[in-house]
Chains A and B, each alone.
Chain A
Amino acid sequence: MSRAFRRHGESIRMQLAGGEVDLLRSMRDGLRAVLSDGAPDDPVIARLFPTAVSDDSEADIELRRLLRDELLSARLAALDDLHALLEQGRASRGGLRVDLDAEQAVLVLGVFNDLRLAIGARVGIEQLEREQLPSDEATTQRLAVMDHFGWLQEQLLAVLDPPSVQLHHDGDGQEEP
């Protein structure tokens, strides 16, 4: 399988398969709807806007209220920027090719992470890990998507910041000939 991210001159070239692009668009739309709705008892909202002060619930409520607007608008802006990046991409090899500068690459990395956190919250991953409950098919599928985007994150990190990925000292991050 070809790599999804590689150096291309000053840019990082993202090459996604058609199925990955469809999945990404639909997850992006889904997360945007959840964020816009902002239901406080939604596990995704709870995970993306977690406890901020650990020993003082009054201070915690206050700080979370303070941080929430900025964190929310940053997340929504990142989802919109990702949408714009996908729109700018060029059709290539049955998928999509997008050239990213370093800040856009950090944005993609962060959005992938938010999408994975959202899946984890949706399937109740902390509970699953503790109790090792047998997963139904929908959960298994969601976890597979979460892993897949984790694998894409690893590839992106290997190009974006090689020291953070210790096992990739054998040619990853090299310039494309």
Chain B
Amino acid sequence: MAPLLSAAPTSPVRERDVTTEDRVRPDAPWDVLVWDDPVNLMSYVVFVFRRVFGYPEPVARKLMLEVHHQGRALVASEPREQAEFYVQQLHGYGLHATMQRSS
């Protein structure tokens, strides 16, 4: 029986139980966007989304593909401080993330 990855003691990812829709909170005033980049690997971007947001693989992959095909994706909507924290994390991993006021 294979153990769940998220249960392994050395796992680099803590998955949260979320769907793609959960990432957008209607009352949150700041959007965090990730922009397409010719260097970052698709698998690496999936990993970073899993690591930073705890997204399960299908959610992380869907967002990565949105970045890849549409040039950018909305990855989170949050109050200002949390949005800044996410931008910092994503910049730390070398993703080009920006925040802007929700329209």
Contacts and interface: CB of A to CB of B under 8 A. Distances in A.
Given A50-B91, A52-B91, A120-B38, A164 B101 contact: no
A160 B91 contact: no
A49 B91 contact: yes
A22 interface: no
A116 to B, nearest CB: 5
A23 interface: no
Interface-central residue, B40, B43, B87, B92, by most chain A CB under 10 Å? B43
A129 B91 contact: no
B92 A74 contact: yes
A54 B99 contact: yes
A150 B25 CA distance: 35
B11 A53 contact: no
A66 B99 CA distance: 14
Contacts of B50: 161, 163-164
Contacts of B19: none
Contacts of A117: 39-40, 94
B96 A160 contact: no
A55 interface: yes
Contact of B39 (A49, A101, A116): A116
Nearest to B56: A163
A44 to B, nearest CB: 11
Interface string A25-69: 000000000000000000000001111111110000001001100
Interface in A82-126: 101-103, 105-106, 109-110, 113-114, 116-117, 119-120, 125-126
Interface of A: 10, 48-56, 63, 66-67, 70-71, 74-75, 101-103, 105-106, 109-110, 113-114, 116-117, 119-120, 125-126, 129, 146, 150, 153-154, 157, 160-166
12 contacts: A50-B98, A53-B100, A71-B88, A110-B92, A114-B94, A153-B44, A161-B12, A161-B13, A161-B50, A163-B46, A163-B57, A164-B46
